Copies of this chain bind each other. A is one copy, B any other.
Amino acid sequence: MIVRRNLSWRGILHYTWKSLLYYLLLAVAVYLAHDHYQVAYLSMPFNTVTIFSTALAIFLGFKSNNAYERWWEGRKIWGLLVNYSRAWTRQVITMMIPEIEADAPAVKELQRRMVYRHIAFVHALRVFLRIKHAYNETDQEEIYEEANRYSDIQAFLLEDEFQAFYHKNNPPNFLLELQGEDLQQAFKRGWLSDYRFVKLEDTLVEFNNIQGMSERIKNTPFPRQYSFFSRVFVFIHATLLPFAFVSELGFATIPVSVVISFVFLALDLVGERTEDPFENRLEDVPLTALSLTIETNIKEQWGDEDFPVKQTTQEGIVL
């Protein structure tokens, strides 16, 4: 996530230079052909492009909107994870109550295991979500968060749990299964009443929902039929522009058509970069920062003080 107010033009060029070069060369070519070699039929009245532009602007508006919706939904889901992580920690601490005094240390130990396993769940979900799909590859060099490995989780799990976890098809779901089994144990030993058992299980269902909603956004691209056509239409539009401008604008065709084409390109690209919030890149929902916030909150609630330190990859960027 970018937090500084201005983007760097260098960064923008990094993503757009190929298209800009095409716009420039085309405009120069059309201008030379029309004005210097007098190829008159290269010109086309401006009105021709207007209706296309309006339709395209509306379509890009639709796309921007839905790209933002996806991103914001991703952020909301992780907001829920923040909220319920705090609630889970409090509930584990206050609702698991030893029936006899002698059980107190065992209860404490179980609580600790469940609270730390939840930190593991949060980090595991982050790592799980940021694994790249081959089909999302764009051959673009990206800024990314390097610390994204399951080994980050090892410290929060028992060793055998970590080994089992590591080989699962769906590792985060496995951790929720373990939490459920520990709840059953606590219930059987009388540390949870029937009712409090179900209450804590309800909170686990929230985590199921949070995980599943994140997976939905991760695994379902914005329908390709929409993004493909928006890309194609921006290209066609940019290709028509210099022909529409050349007879009226002369030399000014070159800067003006490049600028206008850039506007439409930017609208398209901004959507394209925002629509997938879990790709481990610049515009991501900041999963690493959020995970560390959760870790800090949970440790503070539990009474530990070895808070993790957030690292900054680059100025004005939070990953």
Q: A: which residues have CB within 8 A of B?
A: 1-7, 41, 44-62, 64-66, 68, 71, 75-76, 79-80, 82-84, 86-87, 90-91, 93-95, 97, 133, 135-136, 138, 168-170, 173-174, 176-177, 180-181, 183-184, 187-188, 193-199, 201, 204-205, 208-209, 211-213, 215-216, 220-221, 223-229, 233, 236, 240, 245, 248-252, 256, 259-260, 263-264, 266-267, 270, 273-274, 283, 296-297, 300-301, 307, 316
Contacts and interface: CB of A to CB of B under 8 A. Distances in A.
B51 A50 contact: yes
A301 B196 contact: no
Contacts of A229: 266-267, 270
B45 A184 contact: no
Contacts of A256: 44, 48, 240
B46 A263 contact: no
B90 A180 contact: yes
Contacts of A60: 55, 58
A51 B5 CA distance: 27
A142 to B, nearest CB: 15
B173 A220 contact: no
A241 to B, nearest CB: 9
Q: Which 9 A-B pairs have the closest CB atoms?
A: A83-B212, A51-B53, A55-B57, A79-B216, A94-B184, A2-B224, A58-B61, A90-B180, A94-B180
Contacts of A187: 97
Given A194-B195, A228-B7, A208 B267 contact: no
Contacts of A198: 95, 195-196, 199
Contacts of A79: 212-213, 215-216
A300 B174 contact: yes
A301 B169 CA distance: 10
Contact of A225 (B56, B188, B283): B283
A199 B95 CA distance: 12
A225 B177 CA distance: 40
Given A57-B59, A97-B187, 7 more contacts: A7-B224, A7-B228, A48-B249, A55-B264, A68-B226, A83-B208, A86-B212
Contacts of A181: 93-94
B86 A173 contact: yes
* Most chain B beta-carbon contacts within 10 A, residue among A90, A95, A233, A250: A90
A224 B252 CA distance: 31
A140 to B, nearest CB: 12
A264 B51 CA distance: 10
A208 B7 contact: no
Given A220-B75, A263-B233, A300-B170, A201 B51 contact: no
A229 B223 CA distance: 24
Contact of A54 (B57, B65, B220): B57
